[in-house]
Amino acid sequence: MTWMQRTALAATIAAFGVSGAVAADTKPKGEPIKVGILHSLSGTMAISETTLKDAMLMLIDEQNKKGGLLGRPLEPVVVDPASNWPLFAEKARELISQDKVAAVFGCWTSVSRKSVLPVFKELDSILFYPVQYEGEESERNVFYTGAAPNQQAIPAVDYLMNEGVKRWVLEGTDYVYPRTTNKILEAYLKSKGVAAEDIKVNYTPFGFSDWQTEVSAIKDFGSAGKKTAVVSTVNGDANVPFYKELANQGVSAEDIPVVAFSVGEEELAGIDTSPLVGHLAAWNYFESIDTPQNDDFIAKWHKFIGNDKRVTNDPMEAHYIGFNMWVKAVEKAGTTDPDKVIDAMIGVSVPNLTGGYSTMMPNHHITKPVFIGEIQDDGQFQVVWQTPGLVPGDAWSDYLPESKPLISDWRKPMSCGNFNTATGKCGGAGAEKAAAN
């Protein structure tokens, strides 16, 4: 029996504690509590983000059926930043200043998150960010419910090393998440004895579609007689032509396996996966994971969306966790006031969908299991490896010299996002604001 199965019953009981406390016929009253949804519904990232908007609408609907929050109804406010990074900041300001939302659930790319950070700090609001990212950040106004590198990228490389991989292609989209993640992975690989000539790094723009030359280069790099793998941080709709070209050029999982960090069930729904069987993805959740919590979530999702073929994926689970944490923190604080909710969030634990609990840590990251899954011909993933328990998210990488001495702890009296243990000084943005509260 796996650790997921052993904890399934306990998590089910905990889930009832989070969601079953209010009678189903209790209707919330009074002024609505507005919840911002900031996801691209058009442009290159719509392939990934649209389903997160739908997931949030379902979560809000379910919470209203339980009696709302603090006895008041929740009201979603949906905006479309259209895969336009500066527009994310404008829409965030609109949600906070004009719509008066209590919290925002949104963003996918790190460049969109970086774009909105100044707005959330200036206006002192809360962002729940549900996607794997590069780390190297801990902000007081952000809760990171996606994976840090030590919860996805590093375990994926370890898995491939154990499978005999000696040569590495780090293939990514040209923006902050792939570049920083690959910087960490290069340092990690070299610390494991991998020579510089056995690491190839390449970047392409958002929406890139002409993959013939890049895939040919991957094949050439893999022909040196050492087992080669591709670590992919390609993001958005560029993944569709990337995988098609891999198939066109006969790059099989047996020859050069690809492990992806931004390809899940939603992205695979748009392509023929039969030539991709055996390629990999590293996530903290897969739809195929068999637990009572996941079965219940999928059933509710299909009923809400009215389509039994709509898949679930990892960032949806991250929103599920983050939303339930926010609900619990608001109930704990007795208010939606951001400062009080931010303080109440630390230590909150809620069931995840894989049979355990996720807890919000003082660095505003959560505990998560890690899974490696193989693509199947039906577009699902078969789990081939998992951590024995939950992994705490590390905001600052131990493999970058500038980050190694940094820690994050937003509890008082430290209230710091990047405290330098070598100098004894805090450089964390927002520390002054936190100290004043």
Which DSSP string do the residues of 35-66 spell out, in sequence order? Answer: EEEE--SSSTTHHHHHHHHHHHHHHHHHHHHT
Q: Is residue 15 over pLDDT 50?
A: no
| Residue written as token pair 């293939």 | 171
Q: Which residue has the higher pLDDT, 338 or 240?
A: 338
pLDDT of residue 93: 98
Q: What is the pLDDT of residues 345-378, one digit of tens each?
A: 999 999 999 999 999 999 999 999 999 999 999 9
Which DSSP symbol is given to 437?
-
In degrees, rounded to 5, the angle at the alpha carbon of residue 151 between the alpha carbons of residues 262 and 171 is: 40
Q: What is the mean pLDDT of residues 193-208?
A: 97
How many beta carbons lie within 10 A of that of residue 40, not counting itself? 28
Sort strands 74-79 and 33-38 into parallel, antiparallel or unpaired. parallel
C-alpha span between 105 and 401 (Å, rounded): 32
Q: Are 324 and 16 a contacting pair, CB within 8 Å? A: no
Q: What is the mean pLDDT of residues 205-209?
A: 95
C-alpha span between 272 and 308 (Å, rounded): 19
Q: What is the pLDDT of residues 43-60, one digit of tens each?
A: 999 999 999 999 999 999
The CATH superfamily of 3-148+289-369 is: Response regulator (3.40.50.2300)
C-alpha span between 6 and 101 (Å, rounded): 39
pLDDT of residue 276: 87
Q: What is the mean pLDDT of residues 124-151?
A: 97
Q: What is the mean pLDDT of residues 134-148?
A: 97
Q: Is residue 124 over pLDDT 80?
A: yes
C-alpha span between 169 and 258 (Å, rounded): 9
Q: Are 220 and 188 a contacting pair, CB within 8 Å? A: no
In the chain, the percentage of residues whose pLDDT exceeds 90 is 85
| Residue written as token pair 């970086």 | 114
Work out the mean pLDDT of the chain and round it to a whole number.
Answer: 91
pLDDT of residue 359: 98
Q: What is the mean pLDDT of residues 190-209?
A: 97
Question: What residue ranges of the chain are covered by domains with CATH 3.40.50.2300?
Answer: 3-148+289-369, 150-283
**How large is the angle between the packed helices 292-305 and 46-65, nearest 10 degrees?**
100
C-alpha span between 130 and 127 (Å, rounded): 10
H runs (alpha helix) in 335-418 = 338-345
175-184 as b/e: b if 16+ CB within 10 A: bbbbbbbbbb
C-alpha span between 308 and 247 (Å, rounded): 28
Q: What is the pLDDT of residues 245-276, one digit of tens each?
A: 999 999 999 999 999 998 899 888 867 888 88
Tell me whether residue 296 is exposed, middle or buried, using C-beta atoms within 10 angstroms of its C-beta: 0 to 12, 13 to 18, 19 or more: middle
Length of the chain: 437
pLDDT of residue 29: 86
* Beta-carbon contacts of residue 299 (< 8 Å; ≥ 6 apart): none
C-alpha span between 133 and 274 (Å, rounded): 29
* Beta-carbon contacts of residue 398 (< 8 Å; ≥ 6 apart): 404
- Tabulate helix, strand, coil % of the chain (nearest 5): 40, 20, 40
Q: Are 144 and 364 a contacting pair, CB within 8 Å? A: yes
Q: Are 284 and 151 a contacting pair, CB within 8 Å? A: yes
The CATH number of domain 150-283 is 3.10.450.750: no
How many beta carbons lie within 10 A of that of residue 162, not counting itself? 9
pLDDT of residue 12: 37
C-alpha span between 232 and 171 (Å, rounded): 5
Count of helices and strands (H, E) across the chain: 13, 19
Q: What is the pLDDT of residues 394-430, one digit of tens each?
A: 999 999 999 999 999 999 999 999 999 999 999 844 3
How many beta carbons lie within 10 A of that of residue 319, not counting itself? 26
Q: Are 253 and 280 a contacting pair, CB within 8 Å? A: yes
Coil, strand, or helix at residue 428?
A: coil
Q: Are 350 and 324 a contacting pair, CB within 8 Å? A: yes
